[in-house]
Amino acid sequence: MQKKIGFIGIGRMARSIIEGLLKNKHISSSVIWIYDHKLMNIKFITDKYNVNYCTSSEDLVQKIDILFITLKPTIALKVLKKIANYIKKDMIVVSTMAGITINTIEQIIGEYHKIIRVMPNIPSIVLEGMTAITPNNLLNQVDINLIVNIFKCIGKTNIIKEHLIHSVVGISSSAPAYVFMFIEAMATVAIKNGMTYSQAYQFAAQAVKGSAQMLLETKKHPEELKNMVCSPGGTTIEAIKILEKNNFNGIIMEAIQKCIIKSTELSKIYE
């Protein structure tokens, strides 16, 4: 890739993308530009990755072909207004802003710009993320493939309709928090029964990782895979009985639905 990429805001997600691009040798550091209002962040990233930096968001926009807005929504909207007149017509604007619709961005920078909304999750930090990608109708297939390949450097991707982003928040962006709680609960019991802290978390975390990989590779329904583990009169059945008695599935579904509702409510604030 010869296109120049710029990041406004270099928090964890921007750092993950930069690291993924460089680790996969997708691009060289010489075509990456960054800007952040915190000088210590700029120094940290430039020292670690040998990328270029700018002293203002306006300056950065004039040097690049693909712009990543990786800021919190309230800050990002102010920044977009500042740089709107500097964004070139053929530039691809990539937004990781939660709750900010493509329409809202178009209202600020103009509806004639190529805008693509993405929703990664925190496992992107270890290059095992899942990113939802939603382009507006000005991006052609070459543009879309370009962005998809960038996010493949930090995990898996899937192109979705924008109205499904709230569901993505519920089952992907926020989901690692539920999974961490599940692992913590499993490990805590093992520790109480004599296992060391490190052993307990290794066994619990690997069980979750391996189960997820098994589901993805076999493409079997979770119910079928669950039954493969359960032997009649065995140990697993006893655990399943308790989970079913306490409405395990129902609790998870209710929690995710609440998350989706909140995501929908937040998006209305920025309309």
Binding site membership for NADP(+): which residues? 8-13
Is the distance from CB of 99 to CB of 266 less than 8 angstroms?
Answer: yes
Q: How far is CA 206 from CA 176, 210, 243, in A?
A: 14, 6, 21
Q: At what angle do helices 248-269 and 235-245 cross, to 10 degrees?
A: 50
* Residue 130 φ/ψ region, left for φ over 0, alpha for ψ in the -120 to 50 degree band, beta for the rest: beta
Structure tokens at 101: 């619709």
Three-state SS at 177: helix
How do 114-119 and 129-135 pair as beta strands? Answer: antiparallel
How do 155-159 and 129-135 pair as beta strands? Answer: parallel
* Residue 155 φ/ψ region, left for φ over 0, alpha for ψ in the -120 to 50 degree band, beta for the rest: left
Range list of β-strands (E), 66-212: 66-69, 92-95, 114-119, 129-135, 155-159
H-run or E-run covering 42: helix 39-49
Q: How far is CA 15 from CA 5, 45, 106, 205, 239, in A?
A: 13, 8, 26, 24, 40
**Which residues contribute to the annotated binding site?**
8-13
